[in-house]
Homo-oligomer: A and B are copies of this chain.
């Protein structure tokens, strides 16, 4: 992990861009470091996503948490995948035509999960080696299929706030059933690019003993401010309850 830029935001937050091999990322640490960590998931494209990611990081810092994110495979400045681009085009076309999308979703999302999850875990290794990060760790955001897989395979993640705003391959429902991590799932009730029933089925499938679904009126980008605040309190509840990392 190499830090390439460093800037001090208001409220004393330190924002640093880094590279991890060829993966770009950003780390925000609050003045109160060493701090627990929230991994900020997103749909890819750090540059376009920066304003929203920085806003989420500021909220995390206000609660005393560091936040970090990395670019997804095939997004932003990383080499594109011809297969993923094809699948994305096919998905758009199928949705516009009202055709079934299951096979296309499998083609688009499964390889992404396979590539992204080990990268997130490598980033987590590097982040937890920094003196200003002490854990515990939570995952927050979309691509929800990545969140499902991470929650299942990564015991260092003690809570996951998932945004039900993208498709989940049906084969991953079996993984969801094995997840025991406490979950807070946000669903935009009128998300035009999302399958509401699939999101409800996925919430039902999760094996976690603590799981909350919060659905709000509005489209994909219309998450109301109070929903963000409720999600933040979910992280406070789970990240402040523990002073050390769980075994893993």
A contact set with B: CB distance below 8 Å: 189, 200, 203-204, 208-217, 224, 226-227, 229-230, 233-234, 237
* Contact partners of A227 in chain B: CB under 8 A: 212
User: How many protomers of this protein does the assembly include?
Assistant: 2
- Docked CA distance A209–B229 (Å): 19
A-B contact pairs, 16 of them (CB 8 A): A189-B203, A189-B211, A200-B200, A203-B215, A209-B217, A210-B217, A211-B216, A212-B216, A212-B226, A213-B214, A214-B230, A215-B215, A226-B233, A226-B234, A230-B230, A230-B233
Residues of chain B within 8 A of A214, CB atoms compared: 212-215, 230
Besides A189-B204, A203-B215, A213-B213, 15 more A-B contacts (Cβ < 8 Å) are A189-B203, A189-B211, A200-B200, A208-B217, A210-B217, A212-B214, A212-B226, A212-B227, A213-B214, A213-B216, A214-B214, A214-B215, A215-B215, A226-B237, A230-B233
Complex: how many Å from CA A217 to CA B184? Answer: 11
Instruction: Give, as a whole number of angstroms, the nearest-CB distance from A129 to chain B.
Output: 33
